[in-house]
Amino acid sequence: MRFEKPVPLRQIAQLIRAELIGNSTASATGINEIHKVEEGDLAFVDHPKYYDTCINSAASFIIINKKTEFPEGKALLVVEEPFEAYLTIVDHFRPFQPSMKPVSDTAKVGEGTVIMPNAYIGNYVTIGKNCLIHPNVTILDYTVIGDNVIVQAGTVIGSDAFYYNKKTSRDVHYKKMTSCGRVVIENSVEIGAGCTIDRGVTGDTIIGTGTKMDNLVHIGHDTTVGKNCLFAGQVGIAGATTIEDNVILWGQVGVSKTLTIGEGAVVYAQSGVKDSIPGKKVYFGSPVEDAREKMKEFVWIKRIPELWEKVMGKK
């Protein structure tokens, strides 16, 4: 999440009641997760396992629960509960703002775009030219949609990330990590009926130019989908995944989190992708393998009874 203008660290430290160590005269330009941070960003870390990764990332300022060494020019904001500090910052700089109108007063809709009955367009949404938004579509806050986009009935764009934090104590339930990111849909995208596309936790979920989705497709938070991809019905993609250009996922393919599917890959129906896979190949199975090799395997499996009879018949 980018702040509207740089915010002095001293102001942030006061907001979250942190001890500020290091570059105390600097200002932060945003807050982001570790895999999305850029120079000028705040990030938070609350587990020793990830201290070094976070401190040595692109983040300029680290919200942390322990004093430790850090590179020159950066700053630590030391608090007891970094996760709670993150929630405080998001609630302060991007508070929930209900809108009771079908199209929010702060939304911008381009020339030639048609919004059909019972659609809802939230706060600070931007929709480009010549789009078609069908009935009962929900487009939530800060979503950005390009030109010539079609969204079929019942789709929800910009819902919160499925992202929770759980303490080790047994009496603490999963606690929601507030989403403050966006969905960005580029030009000439078509989205089927009943699809769900989650906003980024702090960054963007991106759907590339020319990509087409069938009905009942789910895209998780912070996922980047490339250009001219094709997703058939009931495809599910978990968070922070990268799908490169020209990828085809046939019906009911499931894709795990934080992996990459290479450019031009094709994954046959009902397959499961648990790890990154190279592009320009065809895959099948759960977990996926080269489709030709998997088909050969099925042929041999079908021959097991025949081979067993031959073996037993020789005894």
Please state which of the ranges 28-37, 162-171, 236-245, 261-270 shows the lowest mean pLDDT.
Answer: 162-171
C-alpha 262/C-alpha 186 separation (Å) is 20
What's the CATH code, domain 2-93? Answer: 3.40.1390.10
- In this prediction, residue 171 carries a pLDDT of 58
- Percentage above 70 pLDDT, the chain: 97
C-alpha 276/C-alpha 130 separation (Å) is 36
Q: Please identify which of the residues 47, 92, 173, 221 carries the catalytic annotation.
A: 221
Question: 298 falls in which pLDDT band (50, 70, 90)?
Answer: confident
Question: 33 falls in which pLDDT band (50, 70, 90)?
Answer: confident
Question: 301 falls in which pLDDT band (50, 70, 90)?
Answer: confident
- What long-range pairs does 280-286 form, CB within 8 A, spacing at least 24? 286/254
Instruction: State the fold for domain 108-294.
Output: UDP N-Acetylglucosamine Acyltransferase; domain 1 (2.160.10)
Please indicate whether residue 175 or residue 201 has the higher confidence score (pLDDT): 201
Has residue 206 got a pLDDT over 70? yes
- Percentage above 90 pLDDT, the chain: 85
- 221 as an active site residue: the answer is yes
Question: 259 falls in which pLDDT band (50, 70, 90)?
Answer: very high
Beta-carbon contacts of 290 under 8 Å, excluding residues fewer than 6 positions away, are 281, 282, 283
- DSSP-derived pairing of the beta strands 230-231 and 126-127: unpaired
Q: Where are the domain boundaries for CATH 2.160.10.10 in the chain?
A: 108-294
Region 143-169 average pLDDT: 90
Q: Which two tokens stand for residue 214?
A: 């069938």
Using one digit for the tens of pLDDT, what is the confidence trace for 92-125?
A: 999 999 999 999 999 999 999 999 999 999 999 9
- In this prediction, residue 169 carries a pLDDT of 47
Q: What is the dihedral of CA 155, 95, 171, 52, to 10 degrees?
A: 100
Q: Where are the domain boundaries for CATH 3.40.1390.10 in the chain?
A: 2-93
Has residue 315 got a pLDDT over 60? no
